[in-house]
Amino acid sequence: MNTERRVALGGPLNFRDLGGYSTADGRALRWGRVYRSDSLHHLTDLDGSRLQAELGIRSALDFRANDELVEVGIGRLGDLDVRHVHLPTTDQAINVEPRSDWTPPSSAAEVYLNMMEHGGGAYAAALETLAAPENLPAVFFCMAGKDRTGVFAAVLLGLLGVADADIVTDYALTHEVIDGIHERTRATRPGFDEIWTRLPPEIIGAHAATMEGLLGLVRARWDSMTGYVAALGVQPETVEALRDALLTEP
């Protein structure tokens, strides 16, 4: 069994296994069941072969916005026997001008809380998808694999009973590769840096304090990730199915 956190691919820079994290009830996430990544349109031919032959990926949950999908597509992923599930957390993400009455969020954690509020339908659908054994192993992704993906990873890990410290650690692992991800994006998307000027400066990275702040906001708003998921309308039987599918035996 492979127990390496990072999966070294030729295209994506932030492809990681969520396996191994312990839960409050003495279980742990199974290795090789669910992965997180930056955009899979970067897959090379060899990457595609590895996703199927080595990792056995059956479904790819795509949190990118509709305009991002139109702009860059799904690339090599479209040639694989992998179910592409498009679950945009927002309709548009590229060059969207804020409304005149828009108030900038005060922190990156607040940006993420807004994602949870306005992108909740996509996250609920993602949980439903992962709860079905026929969709596993699965990978979920956005453009950088940091924000929309990072928030969903926190939702999933928190729902399964992973400790806050491990959720924060998992989020911050993206910071190790974020410079390479941004450099690649600047080369292909004019105006990339201008977008970040509208947001709190710390969101350009993946800092532990950001996820710590988000977990505090979640606790104040919904008490826990379980409370958040319940507010989305995800049924308890779906949560139990997720635990059965993704966790080791007690």
Pairing of strands 83-86, 16-17: unpaired
In this predicted structure, the answer to whether residue 7 has a pLDDT above a threshold of 90 is yes
Pairing of strands 59-62, 83-86: parallel
Question: Which residue is listed with tokens 């897959």?
Answer: 43
Strand partners, 22: 28
Q: pTM of the prediction?
A: 0.94
Q: What percent of the chain has pLDDT over 70?
A: 92
Phi, psi values for residue 35, rounded to 5°: -125, 160
Q: What is the DSSP string of 2-58?
A: ---SB---SS-S--EE-TT-BBTTS-BBPTTSEEEES-GGG--HHHHHHHHHTS---
CA separation for the pair 142, 60 (Å, rounded): 10
Residues 6+ apart with CB under 8 A from 136: 33, 34, 58, 59, 130, 245, 246
Single-letter residue type at 85: V
In the chain the first and final C-alpha atoms are separated, in Å, by 19
In this predicted structure, the answer to whether residue 54 has a pLDDT above a threshold of 70 is yes
| Token output for 19 | 């396996």
Q: Which helix (H) or strand (E) holds 185?
A: helix 178-188
What's the number of CA atoms in the CB half-sphere (13 Å) around residue 192? 14
Average confidence (pLDDT) over 40-54: 95
Question: Which residue is listed with tokens 């399964």?
Answer: 160
CA–CA distance from 66 to each of 56, 63, 91, 160 (Å)? 27, 9, 5, 29
The predicted-structure confidence for 224-249, as pLDDT tens digits, reads as follows 999 999 999 999 999 999 999 999 98
Q: What is the mean pLDDT of the chain?
A: 92
Determine the pLDDT at residue 199. Answer: 83
The predicted-structure confidence for 70-103, as pLDDT tens digits, reads as follows 989 999 999 999 999 999 998 776 555 556 566 7
What's the number of CA atoms in the CB half-sphere (13 Å) around residue 99? 3
Pairing of strands 34-37, 138-141: parallel
In this predicted structure, the answer to whether residue 159 has a pLDDT above a threshold of 60 is yes
| Token output for 92 | 């548009």
| Token output for 173 | 């692992």
Determine the pLDDT at residue 96. Answer: 56
| Token output for 198 | 């509208």
Average confidence (pLDDT) over 11-26: 97
In this predicted structure, the answer to whether residue 163 has a pLDDT above a threshold of 70 is yes
The more confidently predicted of residues 200 and 28 is 28
Phi, psi values for residue 98, rounded to 5°: -65, 150
